A and B are shown apart, each in its own frame.
Chain A
């Protein structure tokens, strides 16, 4: 069928293909410019370098002129009927306002900075230019209205670069009391970035042949670009931290029988000690004068105990509250109020929890910052999330389960224990793991309640199990370890950053130490997330089978 049509109209087909090529080429050129301007923005590409024999700024300008020209040519060609498209009567209000605003800014800047007219002058010319472009894009047919403003602006920016009005040594001092200027190093890449986005969108729209399909193509291009950028930022953040930190973490790394530190495990009264077959000093040592390699073991152990304490506090409370709210309480004002309160508690800033711990817990635990206060503060933070996720999981257990169980004549609690809780368990566990990931990386609450040192010696590794002792006066049980200040990874990173350049302890390369700490923190926190996400997938697959 389609081959038949093609053989009948070879001329039209060829024409459609080559004009489509113009639009597709413009999209590709826009993508290239987008990438180049990012490289220039992050100084991977200097503006004074040469590219294809010309300076980078001139090259970018030339490419922008070509891009803008292609977009305009395509739009005009479509209007004059050389290109087969399905444009609507107008580019629409949204596009009109956006173009009008962009041109308003451009007109105002040119009038005030380049021509140098006064406030009234630039305001008038900005309104004139912006209003004119708004009218053009709204009144004319869509193929002109959505290409001309974008293409002309892009070509104009390109001309500004090519003629050197904005060259590599251009600076615009804003003249504010607190000094700030736009330099060429920022302005040229940013303008290129913006123009390439604008023209790229117009070109994608043109490639789709305007109309509903063209809008679809143009919008999808931007939405896909946005998704790719978010994932790209994530990837760059992780890769950069790994790249900077891996050296510090692997310092003195060794594998082999007996290279690691000796651990002793006591089982049924029999002491059994073994040497670790791997030695990773950064996570197995503290900081010490005699250490060949320094590390952050105390902070890692502190973080683990913090998380354990917070979970022990928050999970029973939260799950209990969720059981009461879903199974016992009637749905009404009360449950609604608790729901609003827990949601509000969950969005409360972490530093407010820190203040609360500072005012409420510290006077009650020996008036000093302590591990216990940190645990409880993080527990308070975790509690609302446990309530919310457990409640969601329990609500999603079908009522038929409960009815079937009740029909067997068992009591309500037995139903909850043997039907509702097992069915809700996957959701509860996943929620808790993800919540733990969040609190493990929190700095602000423990800043006020737990603190710790900058470079922590290995002797300060908290040993809670061994710290318990009985006393003759109330409260009869004491554990000095719980009441001591301890370090945790996020706090230690904060302390390292704020300690400045002077404080180096015994650490030979503080910078490397910082990045390595950041990497270990990232690994600890993200492994919670990885476990949580994997658990969710696993449970979902199990349920679907």
Chain B
């Protein structure tokens, strides 16, 4: 209790200190500059509110903002620049908040619809995860996420199995093994691999790989999780390579030369010194690669069948039905009402999963940096 009060008091103190500091720094400025900055901030806020309320009058405060910012730039560049820089930072954060709020709000109706009553208590959203039927047309209308989550998991597992070992090996090659001229040639190659648009991968997969796979495995129709996973793994590969390479080359040279001075081979040094030291960075790379694989849309949309059902049996990777991403890309056109809301629900699942992966990989990376005690 006393602790809580203390904490409140200290946070009030911090706030008061911040306000005091801002006031002090403002007192140093000319009053006119402060007034202009005030107009800039206020007009920008009004423009934002107008835009959020879908008002056609938004242009008015925006015009005031442009004029006052222009005036401030000419007369009081110092303060205006600072205020504008602050405004851009705030808008960057605001965009993230807006994305989170908007996709979650749009997903609310389907969460309400798919509630389940257990012992008289209604739990919203559960039915999307406990039964596998997706039917948007004929009653009972159900929007289960289970088949799509299954598809995403299948594709991600296969993609990771491709991207993680090959990517880490390629990163080892680039950072430790390759002579300089070879590295200079291979590294841009890996970057270009990242640059090939996903729809081009999808197109090649759709026209070449899918028919080939149907032929080779005697599958009815086209579309397999196996080959979508391989293609997506190829697309996630460059992410794994570049992040893992950064981690490997951030291992201090002194550690490696210390090992080499003991008379070990390069490979022994890599396995017993460099890789363990960079382990967290390399796993962050794999996590980021997994994130890319989960979010990959176009190749999956083009190559999969688009039937929101589970495969039979569950581990049958030779049939590819639908992933969370391809569900959205395929159905946004004709969807409305609850079905549209269900698509946003798929988006929410993707967003939250990838956010967790990203934060997890950043945490792992930060830990590695503090462990290696580099200057960063």
Contact = CB atoms under 8 A, between A and B. Distances in A.
B362 A474 contact: no
Which of B58, B102, B234, B298: most chain A Cβ within 10 A? Answer: B298
B173 interface: yes
Interface string A318-354: 1111011101110000000011111111111111111
A454 to B, nearest CB: 13
Nearest to B264: A212
A347 B292 CA distance: 7
A117 interface: no
A538 interface: no
Interface stretch (A129-137, A171-179, A262-270): A171-179
A364 B191 contact: no
Contacts of A349: 294-297, 325, 350-351, 354
A539 interface: no
Given A176-B316, A350-B297, A351-B350, A183 B217 contact: yes
A518 B203 contact: yes
Contact of A212 (B60, B199, B268, B294): B268
A220 B266 CA distance: 10
B321 to A, nearest CB: 10
B359 A351 contact: no
A3 interface: no
A493 interface: yes
Nearest to B311: A178
A123 interface: no
A226 B344 contact: no
A337 B270 CA distance: 34
Contact of B86 (A223, A328, A354): A328
B161 interface: no
Contact of B197 (A177, A343, A417, A442): A442
A15 interface: no
A352 B51 contact: no
Contacts of B34: none
Contact of A320 (B84, B197, B220, B295): B84
A344 B267 contact: no
A185 B215 CA distance: 9
Nearest to A334: B89
B285 to A, nearest CB: 12
Contacts of A43: 212
A188 to B, nearest CB: 11
Interface string A510-543: 0000100010011001101100010000000000
A178 B316 contact: yes
A375 B313 CA distance: 43
A340 B92 CA distance: 12
Nearest to A218: B267
B103 A352 contact: yes
A497 interface: yes
Interface in A474-498: 474-477, 490, 493-494, 497-498
A246 interface: no
Contact of B328 (A178, A355, A533): A355
Contacts of B220: 178-179
Interface in B152-211: 166, 169-170, 172-174, 177-178, 186, 188-204, 206
B295 A475 contact: no
Q: Is the interface of B mostly helix, strand, loop or mixed?
A: helix
Interface residues of B, number: 100
B204 A241 contact: yes
B138 interface: no
Contacts of A380: 95, 99
Interface stretch (B5-13, B36-44, B75-83, B124-132): B75-83
B343 interface: yes
Contacts of B169: 222-223, 226-227
B134 interface: no
A348 B296 CA distance: 10
Interface string A384-400: 10010000000000000
B185 to A, nearest CB: 8
B56 interface: yes
Interface string B86-119: 1111011101101100110110000000000000
A441 B198 contact: yes
B355 A348 contact: yes
A407 interface: no
A497 B329 CA distance: 14
B291 interface: yes
B351 A348 contact: yes
B106 A227 contact: no
Given A178-B312, A216-B267, A317 B59 contact: no
B319 interface: yes
Interface string B280-312: 000000001001101111100110000000011
A320 B358 contact: no
B178 to A, nearest CB: 7
A54 to B, nearest CB: 24
Nearest to A358: B332
A227 B178 contact: yes
Given A324-B82, A348-B354, A359-B344, 9 more contacts: A43-B212, A176-B313, A180-B219, A180-B316, A219-B267, A227-B169, A238-B192, A317-B88, A474-B59
Interface of B: 51, 54, 56-60, 77-78, 81-82, 84-89, 91-93, 95-96, 98-99, 102-103, 105-106, 166, 169-170, 172-174, 177-178, 186, 188-204, 206, 212, 215-220, 234, 237, 264-268, 288, 291-292, 294-298, 301-302, 311-313, 316, 318-319, 325, 328-329, 332, 343-344, 347, 350-351, 354-355, 357-359, 362
The 8 A-B pairs with the shortest beta carbon distances in the complex, nearest first, are: A349-B295, A441-B197, A320-B88, A324-B85, A475-B59, A177-B312, A180-B318, A216-B267
Interface of A: 43, 171, 173, 176-183, 185-186, 212-213, 215-216, 219-220, 222-224, 226-227, 229-231, 233-234, 237-238, 240-241, 316-321, 323-325, 327-329, 338-356, 358-360, 363-364, 380, 383-384, 387, 411-413, 416-417, 434, 437-438, 440-444, 447-448, 473-477, 490, 493-494, 497-498, 514, 518, 521-522, 525-526, 528-529, 533
12 contacts: A177-B313, A178-B316, A179-B220, A212-B268, A213-B265, A223-B172, A224-B177, A444-B297, A444-B298, A447-B329, A525-B195, A526-B195
